[in-house]
Amino acid sequence: MHAFIPLEPRFTHEQARDLAHLIHLILRRRLPNLTSLERNPDARKGKVYLDYLQNRLGATMAAPYSVRPRDGAPVSTPLEWKEVKATLDPLEHNIRTVPKRVIQPGDPWKDLFKKRADINAVLARFEKWRKKSASS
């Protein structure tokens, strides 16, 4: 699963990568029993691999609505956060079901770029959270 945060286009690639790294560090610190830095799936059983290094020049990723080369023809499908839960079955989003999904309820990415994150505002919120966490 990729978490996608649209950023204002005034920020550099390096700034975007550094933000991903910061988010990675915070998640790792807050959820050590759920997250892992281990690339090997066998060595991180039951944990989510946080790969901020995917945010590098030349890295590839599955584009939204691309068919994956697996049995059942699953499709990389944008989801609403409310859909991300333990019972999520990636195979339910496949070459047969996704066209209907885009029509009803509609494409979750339709308005994605209308509101973009300002890295400076995100960092200010992290700093506020950090200070609050340090004092409690």
For 34-72, how does the pLDDT look when each residue is reduced to its tens digit (9 = 90+)? 998 888 989 988 898 888 887 777 877 778 899 999 999
State residue 100's pLDDT score.
Answer: 93
Coil, strand, or helix at residue 18?
A: helix
CB 67 within 8 A of CB 36: no
For residue 76, the model assigns a pLDDT of 92
- Structure letter (DSSP) for residue 103: I
Q: Provide, rounded to the nearest whole percent, the portion of the chain with pLDDT above 70.
A: 100
pTM of the model: 0.74
Residue 60, φ and ψ in degrees, nearest 5: -105, 155
Phi then psi dihedrals of residue 132, to 5 deg: -65, -45
At 132, the pLDDT band (50, 70, 90 cuts) reads confident
Residue 121, both tokens: 């505002």
pLDDT at site 13: 85
Residue 98 has pLDDT above 90, yes or no: yes
The residue count for the chain = 136
The DSSP element (H or E) to which 36 belongs, if any, is strand 35-36
Q: What mean pLDDT comes out for the span 19-30?
A: 89
Q: What is the H or E stretch that residue 35 is in?
A: strand 35-36
Are 98 and 77 a contacting pair, CB within 8 Å?
Answer: yes
Q: Could you say which DSSP state residue 44 is in?
A: G
Of the candidate ranges 35-44, 73-82, 114-123, 124-133, the one whose mean pLDDT is the lowest: 124-133
